[in-house]
Amino acid sequence: MSKLLEVDKLSISFSQYVKGLEQRELKVISDLTMDVNDHEILAVLGSSGSGKSLLAHAILGILPLNAKVSGSMKYKGEELTEELKEELRGKKISFIPQSVNNLNPLMKVKEQAIGYIEDESEKEKIQKKQREIFKQYDLSEEVDEMYPFQLSGGMARKVLISTALLNDPEIIIADEPTPGLDEKSVEETINNLVELKENGIGMILITHDIYTAINTSDRIAILYLGYVIEITETKNFSGHGENLLHPYTRSLYQALPENDFKLTEGHQPSYLNIPKGCPYHENCPNKTDKCDNILPELKTIGNTIVRCFNPLDGGD
């Protein structure tokens, strides 16, 4: 495998006005570091509001104007500047949006899949490719002439996936691809994503669904309050979670009904009151005074990256 995307110490904040002209900085992603290889699905797992979609928007270069961004992103070793993001977006880096509502309700499926192409010979070439890809996903020629409201949830999801493949991407960012789908459509979507990986594509799968992450990915990155707190191989989400090193990651896994169904008290703090030390220390059963005041750095233990002063040992 070769490295396609590297994100190093990415931080994103927004300027907001409160109480008239009083201004504050709302930090929503902090010191975020991760990477993704070809032939790999990296699941980015976190609760709603943990910064997952903003990560996608930062990579694609579609953050709002009031966003302040620091840190580094590289595509195949090259600095991912705003100009390069614009060049790669929709081509080498494709996006599968969170909602099928991103399909234009006033355009037929084929028209919005291929977009506006002035050159007739180029248009014919793209139309042929579009039909081939749609066929791979069991989307008949009748689907080409349909409007989005005529599609089932599973068909609409396939249209979004197929459209993302038209320009032979090397990286796909899939933002919450399964919510709202029936069980069969979820299974089909997962199989489609795995098939793309096996064909060489590197994928960032953004989700809050731990089942989708476990059933689809090779590695899982856990986000909490805008911080990456653990990146580990998906196979470690097994047994009683004894190979998961961060207390929050293990508590997520053990809270599943088929595991210990062990629930922990507390909730993710507000971005308006980000703790001074470890972002998880208010709810952590293993915290020390150091955790209250100092932010732990990411460190590597075996094949796991973890942000914790007191990572759990196997069997805890």
pLDDT recorded at residue 314: 57
Average pLDDT over residues 58-65: 93
Binned at pLDDT 50, 70 and 90, residue 9 comes out as very high
Q: Which two tokens stand for residue 251?
A: 């508590």
Mean pLDDT of the chain: 89
Nearest to 39 by CA among 257, 277, 163, 202: 202
Residue pLDDT, tens place only, 193-216: 898 899 999 999 999 889 889 999
Residue 97 clears pLDDT 90, i.e. is over it: no
SS3 217: coil
Q: What percent of the chain has pLDDT over 70?
A: 98
Q: 211-225 pLDDT, tens per residue?
A: 889 999 999 999 999
Position 262 pLDDT exceeds 80: no
- Rounded CA gap, 226 and 29, in Å? 4
Instruction: Give me the pLDDT at residue 134, please.
Output: 92
Percentage of residues in the chain having pLDDT higher than 90: 57
C-alpha–C-alpha distance, residues 215 and 201, integer Å: 17
Over the stretch 287-316, which tens digit does the pLDDT of each residue have? 999 999 999 999 999 999 999 999 987 545
178 vs 64, 210, 258, 282, CA distance in Å? 26, 12, 21, 32
User: Using N-to-C axis directions, what is the helix angle for 183-198 and 153-164, rounded to 10°?
Assistant: 10
Q: To which residue do tokens 């998961």 refer?
A: 244
In sequence order, the β-bridge partners of residue 41 are 203
Any idea which residue has 């931080």 for tokens?
11
**What are the angstrom distances between the C-alpha of 71 and each of 53, 187, 286?**
17, 36, 30
pLDDT digits (tens, 9 = 90+) for 171-189: 999 998 877 667 777 788 8
Helix or strand run (H / E) with residue 193:
helix 183-198
pLDDT tens, residue by residue, 127-147: 999 999 999 888 999 999 999
Higher pLDDT, 178 or 170: 170
Read off the pLDDT of each residue in 73-101 and give the average, rounded to a whole number. 92
Residue (of 281, 282, 276, 275) closest to 308 by Cα position: 281
pTM of this prediction exceeds 0.85: yes
Question: What was the pLDDT predicted at 51?
Answer: 79
Cα separation, 162 vs 135, whole angstroms: 9
Nearest to 222 by CA among 316, 306, 308, 287: 306
Biggest CA pair distance of the chain: 68
Helix axes 153-164, 120-136, angle to 10 degrees: 130
Overall average pLDDT of the 254-282 stretch: 83
3-state secondary structure of 292: helix
Q: Which two tokens stand for residue 298?
A: 């990411």
